[in-house]
Structure 1
Amino acid sequence: MSLPAAQVKEQLRGVAVGLLTPFDEALEIEHRKIAENAQSLYDDGMRTFLAAANISEYHSLSQQERVDSVETIVDALPSDACVLAGVGGSTAGARELIEAYDRIGADAMMIMPPDHTYLHERGLLEYYRSLSSATDAPLVPYVRGFDPSAEYLADLTRIDGIVGIKYALKDSVKLGEAIQAGDDDVVWVNGLAEPYAVAYWAEGVEGFTAGVSNFRPEVGQELFQALSEENWERARTIRDVCLPYQRFRDETGQNNTLGGAISVPAVKKGLELAGLHGGNVREPIRPLTEDEAARAEEIYNKLDDDIDRLVS
């Protein structure tokens, strides 16, 4: 039984962990490893999970692989876990995916950033209305990769079925304007992970997605507690220990000029260093080089020392 919308909203007020997709040497999905990662993170206190998300290599998965991976996660987790399943693409394709997710018991639909070359804000609002009409499950639009107006964001909060917005734009002023102008009943989630947690909390977000916390969940939990208690000094201190690994994720990697190219393999390496499953990546992402993997381990070891110092 899927969670009611009110419970989904409540669980957005916390740390949402992204579940990566481990691939074997033949680049096939290793479902057992997805399930084991989900169960381990749940045992460590995480309750909100992003499945078939960007960090799951959403665009490298077929429609059926998305459904199968979400089903693996839903089946692996207890009923009090909240699973948000990634949905994107054409209206017809997204509605088909939503119907499949409904059948397997996903709790909410995370509507992926639009991948259309040409967009109109009013047309995009119609897109969300059409997807909402296809399901009773709540929707959480993921805002990233385009530059909408604060007015558009406020209008987004007033669409029936939308219970939260995952905001991943590096613009705190626009965020604050949209929150002030939008519906108070929608939960805003910082989609840029720990580095933006303090600044965006001050603007009115009530939760954040994991970066380092994808493989060290105690960091996210401690940061969320500090923010909830308005212990700003501790919150900034915890945020700061995450910055080296997060900055590493933002790098281009070798023989490349595109930022963030090593983001997913860097998190997969973090999972492996934490004793979880990382696995291979699919194109157009490349695995870490030996030098990059060594740097990741060096940064992780410093992070591990900082966690021991800060988290009892």
Structure 2
Amino acid sequence: MIDTYTDGAGRTASAEQRTERVATVTRRLRDGMSAAVLSFPLTPFDADGGLDPDGFRSHVREQIAAGPGALFPCCGTGEFFSLAEPEYETLVSIAVEESDGALPVVAATGYGWAQAARFAAIAERAGVDALLLMPPYLVEAPQAGLVEHVRRVAATTELPIIVYQRTQVKITASSVPALAAIPNVIGLKDGHCDLDRLQRLRLAAPPEWLFFNGAATAEMQARQYASIGVPAYSSAVHAFAPEISRAFFRAFQDDDHARVDELLSEFYVPLVELRDQGVGYAVSLVKAAARLRGAKVGPVRAPLADPAPEHLDVLDALLTKGLDLVGATR
């Protein structure tokens, strides 16, 4: 009997075709991660909190034009947690249209596994390449439960899945073989910055697995992650200043330590110090910086809140300084 699978778009594929699809997406993502940073676009809202699809299309076009390695719409920076399913469908469809196959599109899915399956089906119909599985809502769970959660989500979709560990989700090395046995699980995004633990996970994983640094301001830890064989990273700065993000990536890739130190000390460290002054600033400060550059991304949605006015003044000056460092203008 032939093993077949019908995906969220109603297409039927054999097991061999599914395996080849997973391998192809994994190769494309690996190539993208080695060539550039990963872009996590913002989700534009209007003054009343409604979705602004035209603003998103414009923002995504600018992100793609800056040359990232892959596009991750509707993730943490894109306020996935505040999106209704129809809004999510609109956004991921726009991201797929605008990328037009030029780079991989990886959309978030999450909450409980039943809800994650619904988002996964929407993403699959829209034509995304892979999924980033966000931590399950609220609950702390044992390793067996976390593995089963991933397994249940993966069973509902043909799409390759990258597991995101942060907050209450901490995968252990002993769980990696079980996750790796799930045919469409292809890697891990790390948000804990525990390099001892991550080293163990990487050594326990199959060689084809993808790993990348998903810290809130990942450039701060890029050297440390690279030292254990995880040089790829996502860049929140890319969402508002791709010029700075690209300049750092080039210096990092070229082992230009003086330039890396300059960008860290003059821009990234002050940015992190400002980010740490407000709850939720890992998203709202990024969105505010994009607005300062003229992007029509609007405010954040509740429960987040926009930065305090005095912090916006500091951000404005820091943005100017960072752009000056890389020879870019406002």
Give the equivalent residue in structure 2 for 1:25: 47
Q: How does 1:273-288 map to 2 (within 5 A)?
A: 273-288=292-307
Q: How does 1:289-308 map to 2 (within 5 A)?
A: 289-308=308-327
Give the equivalent residue in structure 2 for 1:255: none
Deviation at 1:234, TM superposition (A): 3.6
Partners of 1:158 and 1:246 in 2: CA distance:
38
Deviation at 1:307, TM superposition (A): 2.0
Maintained 8 Å contact 1:154/1:182: yes
1:83-102 Cα deviation digits (max 9, x unpaired): 11110012222112111111
Counterpart among 109, 112, 126 of residue 87 in structure 1:
109
Maintained 8 Å contact 1:18/1:214: yes
Partners of 2:303 and 2:73 in 1: CA distance:
20
Deviation at 1:153, TM superposition (A): 4.6
Partners of 1:15 and 1:158 in 2: CA distance:
28
Give the equivalent residue in structure 1 for 2:241: 216
| AA at the equivalent of 1:179 | R
Secondary structure of 1:303's aligned partner: helix
Counterpart among 154, 158, 161 of residue 184 in structure 2:
161
Structure 2 segments unaligned to the other structure (5+ residues): 1-8, 10-20
Distance verdict in 2 for CA 1:148–1:139, change over 3 Å: closer
Q: Please, what TM-score do these two structures have when normalized by structure 2?
A: 0.84
Partners of 2:326 and 2:177 in 1: CA distance:
38
Partners of 1:29 and 1:56 in 2: CA distance:
12
Give the equivalent residue in structure 2 for 1:263: 282
Partners of 2:226 and 2:251 in 1: CA distance:
11
Partners of 2:148 and 2:257 in 1: CA distance:
40
Secondary structure of 1:308's aligned partner: coil
Partners of 1:272 and 1:155 in 2: CA distance:
44
1:225 and 2:269 aligned: no
Partners of 2:246 and 2:308 in 1: CA distance:
31
Structure 1 segments unaligned to the other structure (5+ residues): 253-259
Structure 1 outlier segments of 4+, above 6 Å: none
1:115-158 Cα deviation digits (max 9, x unpaired): 24131211211221222222222111111102343333565344
Q: Please, what TM-score do these two structures have when normalized by structure 1?
A: 0.89
Maintained 8 Å contact 2:165/2:188: yes
What is the RMSD computed on CA atoms of the aligned residues?
Answer: 2.3
Counterpart among 93, 103, 117 of residue 125 in structure 2:
103
Partners of 1:126 and 1:272 in 2: CA distance:
41
Maintained 8 Å contact 2:37/2:68: yes
Distance verdict in 2 for CA 1:229–1:156, change over 3 Å: farther
Identity of aligned residues (%): 23
Partners of 1:233 and 1:298 in 2: CA distance:
23
